[in-house]
């Protein structure tokens, strides 16, 4: 009898779990593609909400992967830009967040020279398109080991003609990284040098587990991120 009840309950449990997953996914995923995301975002925009659209995915492993992500970002910038009125300022308009590790299969410090030759021009092309479309472009956060090439690419494009006289090119900073205050100071100095604002999105962080595991595997003396939430909270508030 108990086995019969258990078997009868399995379809109900599966259906309940499936429904719960759909509800949860709607809290974190705006749509299957940029068109769905824009359509769903219109309701929030009417309430004064502002969106930064992102692409779900992993780092590029091949040149083909990077090309697919580049085309997807380009199409997303055009689609979002087409919804923006010419009179809307860049800080009031929606924006696009790009992940540089998705745009190059060797996004690492050891390949800095190669990244300047190959990735910087492609990122500059996306920046020029976003500027033309009247929306912001934000470089999404990466793991701590990729912080140096991330800042290098940001500076290369920020000081290039692609971002000239434009205040829509920004960066995400993770407060749980111990170098976050230094990064913010560096960005402030860069903004003062050019006399242009840099949009900064401060978040607490998204790769804590992997950062801790990587440091342990490499036998490092310390961690690149705070190990206590209270320390991250203090850094975020400060």
pLDDT tens for the chain, 238 residues: list them.
555 545 556 777 777 887 777 776 666 666 777 777 777 777 777 677 778 888 877 899 999 999 999 999 999 999 999 988 876 788 888 899 999 999 999 999 999 999 999 999 999 999 999 999 999 999 999 999 999 999 999 999 999 999 999 999 999 999 999 999 999 999 999 999 999 999 999 999 989 999 999 999 999 999 999 999 999 999 999 8
User: What CATH class is the domain 50-237?
Assistant: alpha beta
Q: Could you tell me the residue ranges of all domains in the chain?
A: 50-237
The predicted structure's pLDDT at residue 27: 64
Token pair for residue 58?
Answer: 């992993």
Q: Helices 112-133 and 63-81 sit at what angle, rounded to 10 degrees?
A: 20
């Amino acid at each position: 009898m108990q086995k019969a009840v258990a078997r009868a309950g399995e379809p109900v449990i599966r259906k309940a779990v499936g429904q719960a997953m759909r509800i949860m996914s709607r809290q974190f995923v705006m749509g299957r593609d940029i068109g769905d995301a824009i359509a769903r975002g219109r309701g929030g925009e009417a309430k004064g909400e502002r969106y930064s659209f992102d692409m779900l995915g992993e780092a590029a492993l091949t040149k083909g992967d990077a090309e697919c992500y580049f085309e997807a970002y380009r199409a997303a910038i055009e689609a979002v830009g087409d919804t923006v009125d010419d009179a809307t300022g860049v800080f009031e308009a929606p924006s696009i967040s790009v992940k540089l590790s998705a745009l190059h299969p060797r996004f690492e410090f050891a390949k800095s020279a190669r990244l300047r030759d190959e990735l910087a021009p492609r990122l500059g092309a996306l920046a020029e398109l976003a500027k033309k479309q009247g929306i912001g472009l934000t470089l999404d956060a990466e793991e701590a080991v990729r912080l140096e090439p991330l800042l290098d690419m940001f500076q290369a494009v920020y000081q290039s003609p692609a971002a000239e006289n434009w205040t829509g090119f920004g960066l995400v900073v993770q407060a749980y990284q111990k170098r976050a205050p230094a990064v913010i100071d560096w960005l402030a100095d860069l903004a003062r040098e050019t006399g242009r604002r840099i949009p900064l999105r401060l978040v607490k962080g998204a790769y804590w587990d992997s950062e801790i595991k990587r440091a342990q595997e490499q036998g490092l003396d310390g961690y690149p991120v705070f190990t206590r939430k209270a320390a991250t909270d203090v850094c975020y508030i400060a």
